[in-house]
Amino acid sequence: MIQIPASPETETLLIELPRTIGLYVTQEQFAALAAANRDLRLERTALGELIVNPPTGWKTGKLNLSISGELYLWWRNAGEPGKAFDSSTGFILPNGATRSPDACWVSGERWQALTPEQKGTFANICPDFVVELRSRNQTLINRDKTVFNGIKPTLTFL
């Protein structure tokens, strides 16, 4: 289980990185970085590369709200089976990446099978159903191969 310090010591640093330079962090470093920067949308690849996602534009934000709302309504009207999550929730995937889908659902059976350690800050599980908004410069093949490995039903919208 990854333990996040109660109040991590932080230092503000402004840095510009060329696209050819990557920042790599361990899962423990990622958890501490995410805890210290809750206002940022951070993700981590299977190789440990840190991804900082910019805020969405208003059109994407509106669509994301609609998608999350529809998933929530389905979940609630179905008797709250399993767990539904929004875009601020990170999951540690089987390949070691930590990703946060735009909206997702995990079955109750699979969620209950997790130990408290696996539920940790970022649940160590691949969601059963994912909805992803795809950016215009992101190919479906790239997103499918690198993000939510192990998920069968995935809806991707442009």
* Residue 52 located in a structural domain: no
- For 18, other C-beta atoms within 10 Å of its C-beta total 5
CATH number at residue 84: 3.90.1570.10
Residue 94 included in any domain: yes
Shortest CA distance to 22 belongs to which of 41, 2, 55, 45?
45
| Model pTM score | 0.78
- Our CA angle for 30, 39, 24, nearest 5°, is 25
Q: For residue 8, what pLDDT band results from cuts at 50, 70 and 90? A: low
The answer as to whether 12 is a domain residue is no
Considering the domain boundaries, does residue 135 fall inside one?
A: yes
Residue 10 half-sphere exposure toward CB, CA atoms < 13 A:
15
Please give the residue range of the domain that contains residue 92.
Answer: 58-157
Number of domains in the chain: 1
Greater pLDDT, 12 or 85: 85
Residue 20 confidence (pLDDT): 82
User: Does residue 42 belong to any structural domain of this protein?
Assistant: no
If you average pLDDT over residues 56-81, what whole number do you get?
94
66 assigned to some structural domain: yes
26 within domain boundaries: no
Distance between terminal CA atoms of the chain? 36
**One-character DSSP codes across the chain:** -PPPPSS-----------TT---B--HHHHHHHHHHTTTSEEEE-TT-BEEEEPPPPHHHHHHHHHHHHHHHHHHHHTT--SEEEETT--EE-TTS-EE--SEEEE-HHHHHHS-HHHHSSSBSS--SEEEEEPPTT--HHHHHHHT-TT-S-EEEE-
pLDDT > 50? residue 144: no
Q: What is the mean pLDDT of residues 72-99?
A: 95
Residue 45 lies in a domain: no
Per residue in 100-143, pLDDT (tens digit) is 999 999 999 999 999 999 999 999 999 999 988 876 655 544 44
Residue 145 has pLDDT above 60, yes or no: no
